[in-house]
Amino acid sequence: MIRTQDDLDQALALLVAADPQLAPVAERAGPLPLRAMPAGLRGLAATIIGQQVSRASAAAIFARFEREVDLDDPAAILRVDETAFRRAGLSLTKHRTMLAIAEAIASGHLDFERISRSPADAAVAEMTAVRGIGRWTAESYLLFSLGHRDVFPAGDLALQVAVADALGHESRLREKALQGLAERWRPARAVAARLFWAYYATLVRRDAVLATPVQQGR
């Protein structure tokens, strides 16, 4: 498991040593942030809220939601008035997903202790059985909340773009192709994912810089 920054730094060094093709990727990406998130209901709620919004927006929504309800208590989520979800800024889809998660915990169908002890595939299967939790959400929870070393969210657009750019593909990789390619990084695929997310951040910054003269010329 990757629990600390030292864990991540050491795992990255081993990954690059095993696949030297990643050395220039690591050099460009720079130091990898740990981005550790809490485990349990609170961490899964943060993962859900963070989907398809900026980090700043996700942080603001999470903070408002946390003021509305105890995020360590699934029963509190089931009890709270639906207007609390709207005040916090959750979409209707995320509102329904949070209710489904709370119900699954209450019924025993979703057990965070069991998930933390399970192999990644079994943990993903248990989580995605809950309405509203997709594979990306489950894998991101395992990666950032539990520190799994060998999960790779191949459905993530940023990873599809970053791996394609770094490894010289003409267009972004589709999920199935990226899953296959990522097999080379077992048993440290989560470290590779963290690396390529950091690499993607450099692509975004590069694109912003390249766009600046055009914008100024308007």
Reference 65, options 44, 86, 43, 92; nearest CA is: 86
Instruction: Give the model's pLDDT for residue 52.
Output: 86
> Could you give the number of structural domains in the chain?
2
Instruction: Give the model's pLDDT for residue 214.
Output: 38
Instruction: Give the model's pLDDT for residue 205.
Output: 78
Residues 63 and 48 placed together within one structural domain of the fold: yes
CB neighbours of residue 106 within 10 Å: 13
Instruction: Give the model's pLDDT for residue 122.
Output: 96
Instruction: Give the model's pLDDT for residue 58.
Output: 93
Boundary of a domain, candidates 144, 175, 190: 144
Instruction: Give the model's pLDDT for residue 206.
Output: 59
- pLDDT, averaged per 10 consecutive residues of the chain (218 residues), comes to 96 97 96 94 95 90 96 95 95 97 96 96 97 95 96 95 95 94 96 97 67 36
Helices (H), 38-174: 40-49, 55-68, 74-79, 82-88, 92-107, 112-117, 120-128, 135-144, 157-166
Instruction: Give the model's pLDDT for residue 176.
Output: 95
Residues 170 and 85 placed together within one structural domain of the fold: no
CATH code of residue 84:
1.10.340.30
Which domain covers residue 62, as residue numbers?
A: 40-144
CATH code of residue 210:
1.10.1670.40
Residue 119: cis peptide before it, omega within 30 degrees of 0: no
Residues 133 and 157 placed together within one structural domain of the fold: no
Boundary of a domain, candidates 144, 173, 199: 144
Instruction: Give the model's pLDDT for residue 95.
Output: 97
Instruction: Give the model's pLDDT for residue 100.
Output: 98
Boundary of a domain, candidates 144, 160, 180: 144
